[in-house]
Amino acid sequence: MMRRSLTCCAAVAALILPTACGSTQRAATDTPAPPAALVAQARPIGRGPRFQPPARGPVPGACRPTLGPRDGVHVEVFAANRVVILPAGIGTKPPRTTTAGRITSARCYGDLVTLDPTGLVLVRPGTHATTQDLFRAWGEPLSNRRLASFEAPADGQVAVFVDGRLWPGTPQNVPLSRHAEIVLEVGPHVPPHHAYTFPPGV
């Protein structure tokens, strides 16, 4: 599974759990505390179908039998102060083969796909895809007031950050540019991550 840069509940858990799980081994007293910024950014994964909706939208663009070259984009979704999981399988057609939650093969692959639930979106170069395309392929709504199953409060709207900076346009029009870190959120503000460590070759 892909590792994040500066991110994620898993990173915080990895630092905290060794001293909180009732181990019979003595906890190391010189273990550094998680960075304050990392703790501030971490949120638990939401439970239930609203927070973990499956991929059920149409495959965008030509569905080809091989994945081919791809540009990596990282997308995070937060609602109600929880993580909303971007599922594996967006932009692919069954039958699919999975190993440890990661799709290793599919009948075909569209212009943008997710192979695992880490938020890594793989975009076919030259397609000029946007967040609107991603959410349509996911089968979830996206607008100024709506983020998947969640609606913005009466006095708010969906906020989007790109590389840690507030996006000035509409949530639907964010380009899925190579190595962009895109955060969409509704509800309590979640400090956005500025970067992501992409795997080699994307």
Taking only the tens place, the pLDDT of each residue in 11-27 is: 333 333 333 333 333 34
Contact 131, 74 (CB under 8 A): no
Residue 201 lies in a domain: no
Structure tokens of 201? 């070759």
Q: Is the peptide bond before 95 cis (omega within 30 degrees of 0)?
A: yes
Residue 48 lies in a domain: no
Residue 200 lies in a domain: no
Both 129 and 37 in one domain: the answer is: no
Residue with tokens 């959120």, as numbered in its chain: 185
Start-end of H helices in 2-66: 9-16, 36-41
Q: One-letter amino acid identity for 110?
A: G
Residue 96 lies in a domain: yes
Residue 169 lies in a domain: yes
Start-end of H helices in the chain: 9-16, 36-41, 131-138
Task: Report which DSSP code applies to 123.
Answer: E
pTM, two decimal places: 0.81
- 180: helix, coil or strand? coil
Both 94 and 34 in one domain: the answer is: no
Both 178 and 123 in one domain: the answer is: yes
Residue 4 lies in a domain: no
Both 35 and 80 in one domain: the answer is: no
Residue 14 lies in a domain: yes
Both 111 and 29 in one domain: the answer is: no
Which residue, among 180, 42, 39, 34, has the nearest Cα to 119 in the 3D structure? 180
Both 179 and 83 in one domain: the answer is: yes
Instruction: Report the distance separating Cα 181 and Cα 55, nearest Å.
Output: 21
Task: Report which DSSP code applies to 128.
Answer: -
Both 75 and 138 in one domain: the answer is: yes
Both 36 and 118 in one domain: the answer is: no
Phi, psi of 59 (to 5 degrees): -75, 125
Domain count for the chain, please give it. 2
Structure tokens of 193? 């991550």
Both 104 and 154 in one domain: the answer is: yes
Mark the ranges of the chain whose per-residue pLDDT is less than 50: 1-29
What's the gap between Cα 97 and its chain centre? 21
Both 28 and 80 in one domain: the answer is: no
pLDDT of residue 13: 35
Residue 1 lies in a domain: no
H or E element that contains 108: strand 102-109
Both 108 and 156 in one domain: the answer is: yes
Both 32 and 121 in one domain: the answer is: no
Its domain, for residue 154, covers 71-186
